[in-house]
């Protein structure tokens, strides 16, 4: 399960894929690196989880870690977690890596507010993939992991461009939820 946390400040985002060993940990590492480069690491809490229990507690897939290492990033500290629907309340944005993850998350969301927090990663830059899904590289080779990581990097750059205006360099959270409306749209009725 995703560790319990209630960030005292900052924007909280969780990436979700199938087993939390390939796509979502790569996205977590990429977005964290981007926030660090911008000096905004203290203003955002970034996590990842899976919709299945297949790999709970395992490291990220070795091929995912190797792809990250080739970009100068590290996924060595990652351990797979299961998404816990009770954590919707602690999150500002829940990012699905494909339509199956989005469907599972929407079925677990108890309220319209929870459902409103769910977006697919490629929604932030639809030009990257017409179908809106980050392909699962699990049954593929290292070249496919590199290709998927490139897609994730570009999409995370677009996501960060949406998040950054609402973040503060001092690590304080956005004080008004409407400040982040450009990410999730207007609140549900």
The catalytic residues are 17, 23, 136
**CB of 56 closer than 8 Å to CB of 22:** no
Closest CA to 63 of 174, 142, 135: 142
3-state secondary structure of 145: helix
Q: How far apart are CA 130 and CA 115, in angstroms?
A: 23
- 27 by Cβ neighbours in 10 Å (0-12 / 13-18 / 19+) ranks as buried
Q: How far apart are CA 81 and CA 51, in angstroms?
A: 9
Longest dimension (CA), the chain: 46
Residue 160, H or E segment: helix 142-163
Q: How far apart are CA 174 and CA 9, in angstroms?
A: 8
């Amino acid at each position: 399960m995703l560790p319990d946390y209630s960030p005292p400040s900052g924007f909280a985002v969780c990436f979700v894929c199938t087993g939390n060993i390939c796509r979502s940990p790569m996205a977590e590492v990429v977005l964290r690196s981007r926030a660090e480069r911008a000096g905004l690491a203290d203003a955002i809490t970034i996590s990842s989880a899976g919709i299945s229990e297949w790999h709970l507690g395992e490291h990220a897939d070795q091929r995912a870690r190797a792809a990250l290492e080739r970009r100068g990033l590290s996924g060595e500290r990652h351990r797979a977690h299961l998404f816990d629907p009770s954590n919707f309340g602690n999150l500002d944005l829940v990012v699905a890596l494909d339509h199956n993850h989005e469907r599972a998350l929407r079925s677990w969301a108890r309220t319209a507010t929870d459902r409103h927090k769910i977006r697919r990663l490629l929604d932030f830059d639809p030009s990257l993939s017409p179908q809106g899904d980050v392909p699962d590289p699990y049954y593929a080779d290292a070249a496919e992991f590199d290709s998927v990581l490139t897609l994730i990097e570009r999409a995370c750059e677009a996501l960060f461009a949406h998040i950054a205006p609402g973040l503060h360099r001092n690590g304080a959270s956005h004080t008004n939820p409407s400040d982040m409306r450009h990410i999730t749209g207007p609140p549900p009725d």
